[in-house]
Amino acid sequence: MKRILALTLPVLLGLMVAGPVLAGAKPKATDAKAAAKPAGKMDKGAEVSKNGPVKGAIAGKMFTVAARGGDVKVDGSKAKVRDASGKFAKFDAIKPGMMVTVKGTMDGETLKAADIQLPKGKSGGDKGAMPGAAPKKGGKPAPVTPK
């Protein structure tokens, strides 16, 4: 019995002394900075990349991307538009509903685009369909070759 008390007494005393010290630990500096900024707002000039479909009609060189975290207004007036292979494309190639990746800087609520990346197919149609795949409804069936 004396051995058990001799071993547990120092452990309990150590926990009593260390407990308040550990409980009153200060938060890390990164936690304090993250808590100070609202989650949905971006600093002016912060570089961002947004991915999502073009939402609604395109007015001039302004459009909206339905990105994760909320819709983002995009100003594409000074942007370089590129297709999936990296070649330059015309701004007119951007259509409503098309998936795009926009990179640029935030200016308040507007993303000033520097680069706009387009998907593989120009209209996102069935150009990327696998060879030998079943045709879409109303399409022509694949020719049958005799054996």
Q: 73 vs 39, 65, 105, 130, CA distance in Å? A: 18, 7, 12, 35
CATH number for position 61? 2.40.50.140
Instruction: Give the pTM.
Output: 0.54
Flag whether 146 is in a domain.
no
Please, what's the b/e burial string for 49-80 (b: 16 or more CB within 10 A of its CB; e: otherwise)? ebebebeeebeebebbbebeeeebebbbeebe
Q: 138 vs 12, 64, 74, 134, 141, CA distance in Å? A: 78, 33, 37, 11, 9
Flag whether 115 is in a domain.
yes
Write out pLDDT tens, residues 68-125: 999 999 999 999 999 989 899 999 999 999 999 999 999 989 999 999 999 876 544 4
- Total of domains in the chain: 1
**Residue 75's domain spans which residues?**
47-122
